[in-house]
Chain A
Amino acid sequence: MDPLVKKYFRQDMLPHIYCPGCGHGTLMKDLVKAVDNLGLEKDQVCVVSGIGCSSRSAGYMDFNTIHTTHGRAIAVATGIKLAKPELRVIVITGDGDATAIGGNHFIHAARRNIDMAVLVFNNNIYGMTGGQYSPTTPMGDFGTTAPYGSIDPSFDIPTLAKAAGATFVARGTVFHTAKTIRLMERAILHKGFSVIDCMSVCPTYYGRKNKKGDAADMIRWQRDHCVDSADAKLMSPDELEDKLIIGETFHRNRAEYTSDYQELIDRCKGGAQ
């Protein structure tokens, strides 16, 4: 058995529920690799997830894990982080979980810049409920609730995260494992609200509905259409037309919420009240 699987996965909970070729499994393994590279104690890692195929991954990993309600992972994680700032809080969520039903918590946690790494396993579809269109389904694409092609404009998660106040923003993919692992490490270490738009693949629903071929074809598409953010700066809009920008897209440091709260406590305890 792969030593990483042995070390970080709950053997008695496997096999997982994922369809063959689902990108979520790869991303889950990327995360444990990142934790391993950082040498974090398992007891200090807390994984919080919402509801969806993506969110099921929390349970397979041998950390402090909590699978919450649809869209609410970031709000639960906010309570955990405030109550125990020493925990490394990692949120695993889906595109629907994070930006539809959980959109409000997503933007407000970003605004607060509370220290947590949010990994959005983005498969451009609602996988768990059988292929309905999501806020990241590209316009014109099909879902079971978009039988004529979606007329909804879609969110670009990194742009949304940056606008709301996230301080480390990046995109990874299932194909670019080494890069994605590295980004996950940085997101975990970053003191503030980090978001990685982890481009997953859902061959079962998104792939089939949109004639994207099988899982290998979808992952090959990622190989052929991704451009690193550093390289993208040197490219023209025309060249970037059908490209997906990956890597770090935004990074800055500003006051972090739990640290500021600790300062407030120190101030109140010191002062008269």
Chain B
Amino acid sequence: MSGKRVLMQGNEACVEGALAAGMRFYAGYPITPSTEIAELSALRLPVLGGHFIQMEDEIGSMAAVIGASVAGTKAMTATSGPGFSLKQENIGYAAMAEVPCVIVNVQRVGPSTGMPTSTAQGDIMQCRWGTHGDHPVITIAPSSVSEVYTEIIRAFNLSEKYRVPVIFLMDETVGHMREGIEIPDPDSYQVIDRAMPDKKGDNWRPFAVDSEKDVPKLPPFGMGWRYHITGLTHDERGYPTSSPEKSAAFISRLMNKLALNRDDIISCDSYMLEDADIAVICIGSIGRSAKEAVNRARAKGIKAGVFRPVTVWPFPDKEVTELAKKVKRIVVAEQNCGQIVLEVERCVRGACPVTFKGKANGSMLMPDEILAAIEGGEN
């Protein structure tokens, strides 16, 4: 299929990109507006020798994904709001036990059942803090169908490289949008596979690393490396511990695994920021409205630009701090009652004023609404 131009839906691109990244296991439970991802996975996986299973609920889906990954298969699940809430405990388990996996969340309006077929971006903070306790997590938010394809590949790569759950945060707009896209040639991107331990010494400690920047090399089950995996705080052998010293070392390593590699993980999109006085910060599909708003502002002589974190977590904090020093004002546009704006304000630290433009009624934030915020009308 590669090199070809095709008309594709965001949810379809998510599956095709995942397959290109090596996804061979999918477990899920149907929920709008993510269901096409399950349907296409069910169609495509067995043909490639992979497995699709419709589990009894989202808790089981997340658990089965963890199991498949522990057995060495690249695994994914997809869901939306209510299902994403149910997956949280096992997402925390994947973070704790360092099990690579990708969780797609095609956002719809919440809370609760909300508006199942309407677009929203209300789960941004849930991606970061949805499961209990301090934990590392990566979240990527694509804004177009072609970006869905390339970024889901990156999501799998980061997941395998850093052994963390990666949340692929789409929204209904991106999921259901159809666009003509160029299927990238496999030579144009990298596919990262799981690192294996070098050799099995007598005193192999599966979770030991040389520096906190490193990631433990845990082999799949059944390859001759017998070890223990647990969601309890554990030592380098993987054995449960309640020692404050070992626990401190553990959480420090777990958090620093991403913190020390943030430059490799963070990716941002900039549009017309070079000479901008006003920067619009947004994620996902709102990037499209924001670019159009900036075009309209420029036509009126207002120097505006767009800064869009593609990696939402870890949040591009340094980048936003730098941006705030260069522009006169920042507008944060998002489809919720104010989530990214909290991070932006934290990073701006008063260096420039921040205007929030939110919308959470299920309809898309339109270019003119963002333009009004750029022009300073609304707060």
Contacts and interface: CB of A to CB of B under 8 A. Distances in A.
Partners in one complex: yes
Nearest to A71: B59
Contacts of A79: 25, 27, 63-71, 75
Interface string B92-134: 0100010000000000000000000000000000000000000
Nearest to B92: A69
Nearest to B50: A265
A78 B67 contact: yes
A75 B60 contact: yes
B22 to A, nearest CB: 13
Contact of B230 (A62, A64, A67, A84): A67
Contacts of A83: 25, 51, 67-69, 71-73, 75
Question: What is the interface residue range for chain B against chain A?
Answer: 35 or more
6 contacts: A10-B239, A69-B93, A80-B67, A80-B221, A82-B64, A87-B71
Interface in B50-87: 51, 53, 55-57, 59-61, 63-73, 75
Interface string B222-254: 111011111110000101100000000000000
Contact of B228 (A43, A59, A72): A59
Nearest to A84: B71
B302 to A, nearest CB: 52
A108 to B, nearest CB: 4
Interface string A28-52: 0000000000000011101010000
A86 interface: yes
Question: What is the interface residue range for chain A against chain B?
Answer: 35 or more
B59 A80 contact: no
A104 interface: yes
| Main secondary structure on B side of the interface with A | mixed
Contacts of B55: 75, 78, 108
Interface of B: 25, 27, 43, 46-47, 49, 51, 53, 55-57, 59-61, 63-73, 75, 89-90, 93, 97, 220-224, 226-232, 237, 239-240
A63 interface: yes
B60 A105 contact: yes
A142 to B, nearest CB: 30
B233 to A, nearest CB: 12
B63 A68 contact: yes
Contacts of A72: 59-60, 63, 90
Interface pairs A-B: 10 shortest CB-CB: A79-B67, A75-B63, A79-B64, A83-B71, A79-B68, A75-B60, A64-B221, A76-B67, A83-B68, A80-B67
